Amino acid sequence: MIILTDKDLEILVNNSLSNREEIYNKIHFKVSFEEFKQILFSLKDDVEHIDLFSIIYWLLPHSMSKNEFEELNTIFLKEKWHNGHDDMVGMFQVYFYDNPKNIDTILHIMNDLPEFYRYDTCLKHPFIRKCIYAIGAQPEPYNIQALEALLEKETEEELIEYLEEQIETRKTDGRWEARRPRSDY
């Protein structure tokens, strides 16, 4: 098992505008799926380092496949103790949009929001909107079915507007994300 040293953490923090390859050239190791998962879960009760979750998540060099990284994204999106949810949902729109099972993952977080999203509409509504867009990016017809089901239950006017707009866009324009080249994660 790989344990991140203080020097490794310092490299990650001081190079937060770098990419994984540049970080790899400085720390000279890559973690596997299981190691990555273990490192992230070790932050759960580490008050001193919890703020490093997103830096580690997005910068730590790894040897995972796209499917493994998608699984890691799914696992940690459902965890409520960190603050990386917004970026993770974004990954379901721009990178992980080929799997209809992702809709259930996104619906899960929408129905069981982390505490900090629940009571502040300035945080909640943009996050829910991002979830709606991520659902829209998933395979058809499942994406539209899920959006229509959400629309039937929604009571907040602003969120109803997001849903109606996304349903109309997907019915007319389809899944534009699937027609463009996929970026690296």
Summarize pLDDT for 92-133 with one digit per residue, the tens: 999 999 999 999 999 999 999 999 899 898 999 999 999 999
The string of pLDDT tens digits covering residues 13-26 is 999 999 999 999 99
Condensed to tens digits (0 to 9), the pLDDT of residues 160-183 reads: 999 999 999 999 988 777 666 666
In order, the DSSP letters of 92-126 are: HHHT--S-THHHHHHHHHHHS--HHHHS-HHHHHH
Question: Is residue 71 in a domain?
Answer: no
pTM of the model: 0.89
Structure tokens at 176: 């534009």
CA-based torsion, 32, 39, 127, 21: positive or negative: negative
* Residue 73 is assigned to a structural domain of this protein: no
pLDDT score recorded for residue 180: 66
Maximum distance among all Cα pairs of the chain, rounded to whole angstroms: 51
Query: Could you say which DSSP state residue 129 is in?
Result: H
116 and 184 part of one domain:
yes
Residue 145 and residue 107 share a domain: yes
Residue 76 falls within a domain, yes or no? no
Total structural domains within the chain: 2
**Residue 173 counted as domain residue:** yes
- Rounded CA separation 125/24 (Å): 36
Boundaries of domain holding 6: 1-64
Residues 56 and 88 in one domain: no
Q: Is residue 95 part of a domain?
A: yes
Q: Are residues 21 and 106 in the same domain?
A: no
Does residue 70 sit within a domain?
A: no
